[in-house]
Chain A
Amino acid sequence: MSHNTLLVFELTILVLAIFLGFEVISKVPTLLHTPLMSGTNAIHGIVLVGAMIVLAQPHKDAFEWVVGFLGVVLGSANVVGGFVVTDRMLEMFKKREPAKAPDARSDGGTSAE
């Protein structure tokens, strides 16, 4: 495929992604805005894939080594940290825990936290 054809395809999916992004996000309630931000934060960790491509390039000089390596480090921190933080947040959203609630109340006062 010629470079220009590819570019046009890429621009097309870029524009579609913009509208898709708006569409999907507008359905998220404010209740979940923090996990949403944190979750999208994890998704842009896809930058790790770009850093991997840079570092996997054959015939690198020292500069590309260093930059690619740093990119992989930062990208992995983004991916792992982002998904783990989001998971921790979402784990907490519960409707009501019927079994646990009563005894949480009875011992709640004597031992705070």
Chain B
Amino acid sequence: MSTNLANLLYLIPIVAFILALRFLSNPAHARRGNQIGAAGMLVAIVVTWIKAGSASWWAIVIGMAIGGGFGAVAARRVKMTAMPQMVALFNGVGGGAAALIALAELHRILPEPGRPKIDIALAIALSGLIGAISFAGSMVAFAKLQELIRGRPITYPGQKFGNLALLAVCVGLSVTLVSGVQDEWLLWVVIGGAALFGVLFVLPIGGADMPVVISLLNAFTGLAVAIGGFELENNVLIVAGMLVGASGTLLTLLMGRAMNRSIANVLFGAFGQVSAAAAAAAAGDGGTVRSANAEDVAVMLAYAHKVVFVPGYGLAVAQAQHDVRQLADLLEEKGVEVSYAIHPVAGRMPGHMNVLLAEANVPYPQLKEMDDANPEFSRTDVALVVGANDVVNPDARTNEGSPIYGMPILNVDDAQAVVVLKRSMNPGFAGIENPLFYNPKTVMLFGDAKESIDKLIEDVKTL
């Protein structure tokens, strides 16, 4: 197959990918879009297969069987609650593949007579660098979300300076590589250093900021792949990679805006460090926490006109989404109006809560975004907070000293009553004290979210 024909046929996957993203604008046909994307990918693979010729076809088949088999099994088996780490993992392997391609390409062109073209050398250095950061960073994000390592920020002295210096060295070596010192070991050092940077850069980022990091790493992989397209002079890599790069960047910015924090603050702030001092301050002006039992809360819920569920990461941890849905159904049978208020950064991934509740068959029109949900709280009888903390923390509105000051939150304290389901009084992942718990309107229902909801279901039934 000629290069021209191949490039012409590559238009099919390119259009398919764009359609796939376009179809995602509406939940009704989003799934069709994903299938179109997958079909486009198949076309890209077949075209490449025919164009590249039959050399080492068996190695390609074996490699695809191993990788594809692993991907299919992992993706089928994973629980919906573990989705963020799965996305991080698949993102990481993509970045790793882009870095490997850079190594192979440099290795291939170096023995050729004459100097490698400068743009090719630049592309090799960049995709190696970015791909390695994405690979290592995603693996750390995976390990954090899977709780292989602790989710709280991990810091060491001189961290920012150390990370910056490391990145500067990697970039410096890349420049050397591009400007003519073409030794293969240089690229190895760049990739190794970038991988180390990826690890050090994600380690200090707290669990609550994971949506931003995952989205950013997604953009990195896309970018690395697009640059890889320059090495291989392959259009479909450039377009598909850059679509992902652009979408990941936009999503990262949206996440940052939802938290009213700059991306730099998220990435380098080691958020959650402040806890000790802030917690001490808040404990001082204490107030009392009212704890309730399930029967009391069941009565509140059953005789309410309007109940709003406010889910957070705790819902995912307790895997309580099905129970929440059951409770909601029960309340609806009793004539209570039920909806769900979803904060844009609740959970560990943009839109995390929507997916979990969708898994439990909650109809998506009941899921309200923050801007639609907030005006509703004043005519809500009970706001039921299930495992959310920072996204309902009134300190974000009033306490200038709070690390989350300025972040738009769900104003659950506008409701007549607030019920908070929480494991214990420990501060949330960001380690910040929450005055909502001391609000006279608030009652706490301590215990595992799933067990608490189940108890509520039992009690509401008897009413």
Contacts and interface: CB of A to CB of B under 8 A. Distances in A.
Contacts of A53: 48, 52, 232, 234
B326 A51 contact: no
Interface string B214-252: 110010011011101111111111111111111110110
A43 B359 CA distance: 23
A89 B358 contact: yes
B454 to A, nearest CB: 6
A60 B56 contact: yes
Interface size on A, as a range, is 35 or more
B298 to A, nearest CB: 13
Nearest to A58: B55
Interface residues of B, number: 124
B426 interface: no
A34 B25 contact: no
Interface string A22-57: 101111111111111111111111111111111111
Given A22-B250, A46-B13, A64-B107, A93 B75 contact: no
A25 B350 CA distance: 14
Nearest to B240: A46
Interface in B77-94: 78, 80, 83, 86-87, 89-91, 93-94
A104 B254 CA distance: 37
A95 to B, nearest CB: 6
B83 A40 contact: no
Given A48-B97, A95-B364, A77 B52 contact: no
A74 B97 contact: yes
Given A37-B215, A39-B21, A74-B94, A46 B72 contact: no
A97 B94 contact: no
Contact of A95 (B49, B72, B363): B363
B351 A21 contact: no
Interface string B330-348: 1001000000001010000
Nearest to A92: B358
B113 interface: no
B251 A47 contact: no
Contacts of A36: 21, 24, 247, 251, 350-351
Given A37-B87, A50-B237, A52-B60, A71 B104 contact: yes
A35 B383 CA distance: 27
Given A46-B237, A50-B234, A77-B93, 17 more contacts: A14-B226, A18-B246, A20-B246, A25-B251, A41-B91, A43-B20, A45-B94, A52-B48, A67-B104, A68-B100, A72-B60, A72-B64, A77-B67, A78-B94, A80-B72, A90-B31, A94-B364
11 contacts: A34-B83, A49-B44, A71-B101, A72-B64, A78-B67, A82-B71, A87-B38, A92-B80, A108-B326, A109-B326, A112-B326
Which 7 A/B pairs are nearest by Cβ-Cβ distance? A21-B246, A81-B71, A76-B67, A33-B351, A72-B63, A56-B52, A80-B71
